[in-house]
Amino acid sequence: MQIVKTTALKNRKFISLYFKQLLSKDPLDPWPIVKNASLFVAYDKENPVSYCTIKNWKTCFELGTVVTEKKFRRKGYSSRLISEVLKDYNNLYVTCKNQLESFYNQFGFKKIKNAPYPIKQRIDFANFFTIGRKYIVMERSI
């Protein structure tokens, strides 16, 4: 598996996959596109299969969108990609659904109550307008 670092707006395939998911019943966070976040792409041979963004909030970094092409899901690509990306970041946050807490625990993330700005404001906003789905913030520090 090869990993290439670029930006969200430079990768057409990511943008296409992103907008398909954005229009689904489980849309993705728009900030990686809005902020032209750093994008890490995992390739299987010559095929881009998994994507991971990192949002730079100036005061902290946040693991953003993690998405894998549908036909490559459940094969460990996103886990391997996240493991590689984490090597470049000592302190990182992730905002996720409650049910993903155990997934991110395996990478050293721990649930926290108080996140830094602007993550706290975004999560409070999302939880205020989301019925039945609650989001949490997790931190990983070395």
pLDDT of residue 85: 94
| pTM listed for this prediction | 0.84
Q: How far apart are CA 31 and CA 44, in angstroms?
A: 26
Percent of the chain with pLDDT strictly greater than 70: 89
**Per-residue pLDDT tens digits for 56-94:** 998 899 998 888 888 999 999 999 999 999 999 989 999
Give the confidence band of 40 by pLDDT, cuts at 50, 70, 90.
Answer: very high
pLDDT of residue 107: 96
pLDDT of residue 123: 85
Q: Which long-range contacts (CB under 8 A, 24 or more apart) does 25-30 make?
A: 28/65, 28/67, 29/64, 29/65, 29/95
Cα–Cα distances in angstroms (integers) from residue 108 to residues 77, 83, 91, 125, in the given order: 18, 10, 11, 26
User: Of 60, 26, 130, 47, which Cα lies nearest the Cα of 18?
Assistant: 26
- Using DSSP's 3-state secondary structure scheme, residue 54 falls into strand
Give the confidence band of 9 by pLDDT, cuts at 50, 70, 90.
Answer: confident
> What domains can be seen in the chain, in order of their start residue?
2-141 (3.40.630.30)
- Residue with more model confidence, 86 or 134: 86
